[in-house]
Amino acid sequence: MAKRFIIIAGLIILIAAVVGGTIGSSRRLRRSVSVGGSVPNKPSEEIEKDYNEAVSTISSSYAGDIDYEKATQAAVQGMLSTLDPHSMYFPYNEFRKLKEDQDSRFYGIGVTIVQHRDGVYIQSAVENTPAARLGLRYGDRILEVDGKDARDWPSEQVSKHVRGGRGEPVTIKVERAGSEPPLYFTIVRESVPLPSIRDAYMVRPGTGYIGLTRGFQHTSDEELREALNKLKDQGMRQLVLDLRGNPGGLLDQAIDVSSEFLPRGQVVVSVRGRSEYSEPIIYKSRGAEPEDVPLVVLINRGTASASEIVAGAIQDHGRGLIVGETSFGKGLVQRVFQLPFNTGLTLTTARYYTPYGRSLQRDYSTGSFYDYIVRHDLDDAPPQLSPPPAVNPTPLEQTSPTPLSPSGAAVKTAAGRVFYGGGGITPDIEAKPLNFTPVRNRIAEAGFQFTRQLAAGLIPGFESYKVEKVQYGKNPKSGDYPITDRVVEAFRNWVRTDTESQLTPAQLDEELEFVKLRLREEIITAAFSNDAGARLLLDADPQVLRALEALPDAKRLAETVRSGTSQS
């Protein structure tokens, strides 16, 4: 197909969603009139007259000043919101960011920022970026951006103001632990890479881990191929592919990523819609010989859209096992239409289906947009059953899954396994994430504030923990910045003076292992970058640990499917 499509998660800023790139050619939106239903629609000419009359009346009679640009944006978005949760309008700046995200890079300074209780802080500077070269570091609190007070800004607003045109300077004022006066940095924006793959390494001897968590962009499959080759050179014989939190992106990249694991010519996804989709469009795997290593795919509630296509194709064909939580359930296809003056909109034009015909789109006809986004249905619904974790080389016992959505039809997939559509991808093996209770959230916040002082060399007796310079690309060893009993005791003493943490000694005792984990993750982030800290957390991640346990079963499932056992 000459045209390309985007699968956009639509998870908005509320849960830090990212939308991926353009699809197809830019063209004007053509007006269409829906048909059917018990009440006939007004003719388009009458609707247009009503609209023009309303605008004329407002223009001539409204008592105040009218912001026509703002009113037009609201009108377009209001119209789109009556259609579905994923058809959206993008003003100029947001449309520019949409196009930046699709290209796997943007123009900025190269920092990871995080919201804390009293403002936005730099968590890590990205290697070989302007911020890293000028010395911005872990724990720097952002006070101003180009003279504007940023102390009360959320992280999204800080990010918006820090990004800008290539070669343009931005001045940032920060508060640094151990430095009495604030520091000023004038940084020239450059192209900053925004790769799809956050990390790829050997989690255990013979076992690789690839975190494809940052969306499906133009470079996603290329990055995956490079990561696979690197891990194979290191002796990889089995793989955990992490799609948790991946909000989706380009459809062609989802097909290419799936093709890395599926034999050539297998169906990856079908697209069905109206007009140009009078017949389903079927996309099949392509490329060279696929990887045949045992495979487990990790998903969670934030796994959406293009990442659900990959997980659904792997699951339908029995190529690997899916571990984690039920995915978001976004099965609508959007096209991007560029409007005059560089604004744009995404419009749902079709639905996609897994190879065996499951629709993954959740029902959005009831409840609020907020309920749809945060997945309240998962909190209340009974769990959907899936095939048993133990997969034998003999014919698999067929189960009778309970559908999450009554509208979802039962579909028998490879090896006789049954799944239901209409509610996202249900994992083969349910695994809950690390549980963050209110107490653990307070420990995490206190751990950051304490480590900010520790990394600055301000905790008496622990000057050796001062981070002078970030060591990028290093895999930290157990002896690097260890969290000893003395460090824990220093943290206890610091918490006693920190009235905002509201932590008691009993709570710290009860959550001692979590305290050690968070302190270790924070100091490793400060010393070796954000990616190193994230890798450390993976080593204690219950979903990752369950995925590792499932690899032998994934191997047996793939062998069963290849032998043709229990296939219909």
Confidence at residue 278, expressed as pLDDT on a 0 to 100 scale: 65
Confidence at residue 489, expressed as pLDDT on a 0 to 100 scale: 98
**Is residue 328 situated within a structural domain?**
yes
| Mean pLDDT of the 205-227 span | 96
| Mean pLDDT of the 528-534 span | 93
CB 13 within 8 A of CB 156: yes
Q: Do 311 and 179 belong together in one domain?
A: no
**Is residue 89 situated within a structural domain?**
no
Q: Mean of the per-residue pLDDT values for the chain? A: 83
% of the chain residues with pLDDT over 70: 81
Other C-beta atoms lying within 10 Å of the C-beta of residue 156 = 13
Q: Do 180 and 205 belong together in one domain?
A: no
Report residue 187: phi and psi, to 5°: -120, 135
Q: Do 443 and 475 belong together in one domain?
A: yes
pLDDT digits (tens, 9 = 90+) for 444-456: 999 999 999 999 9
Range of the domain at 462: 438-540
| pLDDT reading at 412 higher than 60 | yes
Q: Tell me the two tokens of residue 418.
A: 């049954």
Confidence at residue 303, expressed as pLDDT on a 0 to 100 scale: 95
Q: Do 148 and 182 belong together in one domain?
A: yes
**Is residue 413 situated within a structural domain?**
yes
Looking at mean pLDDT, say which of 178-182, 268-272, 359-363, 487-491 comes out highest: 487-491
% of the chain residues with pLDDT over 90: 56
Domain boundary among 412, 433, 454: 433
**Is residue 209 situated within a structural domain?**
yes
CB 384 within 8 A of CB 400: no
| pLDDT reading at 30 higher than 50 | no
Name residue, tokens 């993750």. 521
Please tell me the distance from the alpha carbon of residue 515 to that of residue 520, in angstroms, as a whole number: 9
Confidence at residue 414, expressed as pLDDT on a 0 to 100 scale: 87
Confidence at residue 25, expressed as pLDDT on a 0 to 100 scale: 29
Higher pLDDT, 314 or 421: 314
Confidence at residue 468, expressed as pLDDT on a 0 to 100 scale: 92
CATH number, domain of 387, equals 3.90.226.10
Q: Do 314 and 219 belong together in one domain?
A: yes
CATH number, domain of 185, equals 2.30.42.10
pLDDT digits (tens, 9 = 90+) for 265-304: 999 999 987 655 567 889 999 978 899 999 999 999 999 9
What residues are annotated to the active site? 305, 316, 330
DSSP tag of 64: S
Whether the pTM exceeds 0.85: the reply is no
Q: How many domains does the chain have?
A: 3
Residue 371's pLDDT band, with cuts at 50, 70 and 90, is low
Q: Please report which helix (H) or strand (E) contains residue 321, including its range.
A: strand 321-324
Q: Do 494 and 453 belong together in one domain?
A: yes
DSSP tag of 414: G
Q: Do 407 and 531 belong together in one domain?
A: no
| Mean pLDDT of the 132-146 span | 96
| pLDDT reading at 379 higher than 70 | no
pLDDT digits (tens, 9 = 90+) for 478-510: 899 999 999 999 999 999 999 899 999 999 999
The candidate with the shortest Cα–Cα distance to 419, out of 329, 358, 484, is 358
**Is residue 396 situated within a structural domain?**
yes
Asked which of 103-107, 362-366, 430-434, 536-540 is least confident by mean pLDDT, the reply is: 103-107
Instruction: Give every CB contact of residue 565 below 8 A, 6+ residues apart in sequence.
Output: 393, 394, 395, 396, 415
Q: Is the dihedral of CA 266, 272, 277, 278 positive or negative?
A: positive
Asked which of 40-44, 354-358, 557-561 is least confident by mean pLDDT, the reply is: 40-44
**Is residue 550 situated within a structural domain?**
no
Higher pLDDT, 319 or 50: 319
**Is residue 167 situated within a structural domain?**
yes
**Is residue 364 situated within a structural domain?**
yes
Q: Is the dihedral of CA 307, 21, 165, 167 positive or negative?
A: positive
Domain boundary among 193, 218, 237: 193
Q: Do 300 and 371 belong together in one domain?
A: yes
| Mean pLDDT of the 525-543 span | 93
Q: Do 229 and 306 belong together in one domain?
A: yes
Residue 103's pLDDT band, with cuts at 50, 70 and 90, is low
pLDDT digits (tens, 9 = 90+) for 73-92: 888 888 888 887 878 888 88
Domain boundary among 396, 415, 433: 433
| pLDDT reading at 45 higher than 70 | yes
pLDDT digits (tens, 9 = 90+) for 217-271: 999 999 999 999 999 999 999 999 999 999 998 899 999 999 999 999 999 999 9
Confidence at residue 532, expressed as pLDDT on a 0 to 100 scale: 93
| Mean pLDDT of the 522-529 span | 97
How is 253-280 classified by DSSP, letter by letter? HHHHHHHTTS-TT-EEEEEEESGGGSS-
Q: Do 254 and 291 belong together in one domain?
A: yes
Q: Do 281 and 404 belong together in one domain?
A: yes
Q: Do 142 and 206 belong together in one domain?
A: no
Q: Please report which helix (H) or strand (E) contains residue 380, including its range.
A: helix 376-380
